Amino acid sequence: MEKDQHWFLLKHEDGTLFGPVEFSQLASWAMEAQVSPLDRVSTDQRSWTRAPMLAELQMDYLVELGPDHFYGPTTVGTIKEFLKAGEIELNARITNCLDGSELSAADLPEIRATTLQNNSPLRSSIRVNLLQRLHELERLLLEERRKREAAEHLAKKLEAQIDAIARKS
């Protein structure tokens, strides 16, 4: 990744476009819980990537908000916001998407350090609408399943055509 590239952020919720900004600003937004897992980023406004796919944003954690309710991948900054807003407790399960390990929010070094050193409040402006996010993720999952099934159907059809051609030869 080139450091002098300018970046754009496309918000999933309402299609708002931010940028061009330097990568440092984009990374700062991610750490401040302003980039959601469904937001997209780009350097050219033609090719878009989901924000968590950009490793440099460090959106590496999946947060268990409740039984079978997850948020992420997201940043440690977002986890701090969830804690401050009361969306999760210190015992909330966090999965590190990089290595698959699970721990509690309190066991994250950045959270433990903040808890021990600083009792000042973090921003509490984050609002998580669990049902809306859950429905969106379910919709995306269904869409991906449909695409996979269509691809599998097409593959079978093409295999049948190849077999028919091979038999004629």
pLDDT value at position 163?
92
For residue 42, the cross-strand partners are 8
Q: How confident is the model at residue 129 (pLDDT cuts 50, 70, 90)?
A: low
For 69-120, how does the pLDDT look when each residue is reduced to its tens digit (9 = 90+)?
A: 889 999 999 999 888 888 888 899 999 999 999 999 999 888 876 654 554 4
Assigned architecture for domain 60-127 = 2-Layer Sandwich (3.30)
CB-side neighbour CA atoms (13 Å) of 94? 27
Read off the pLDDT of residues 15-56 as tens digits, 9 standing for 90 and up. 999 989 999 999 999 999 899 999 999 999 999 999 999 999
Crossing angle between the packed helical segments 76-85 and 109-117, to the nearest 10 degrees: 50
Q: Would the pLDDT of 125 be above 50?
A: no
Letter string b/e over residues 10-37, b meaning 16 or more CB atoms within 10 A of that residue's CB = beeeeeeebbeeebeebbebbbbbbbbb
Query: pTM above 0.95?
Result: no
**Cβ-based neighbour number of residue 56 at 10 Å:** 10
Distance of CA 46 to the CA centre of its chain: 20
Give the integer Cα–Cα distance in Å for 9 and 35: 8
Cβ-Cβ contacts under 8 Å for 64 (sequence gap 6 or more) = 70, 92, 93, 94, 95
Peptide bond into 73 cis (omega under 30): yes
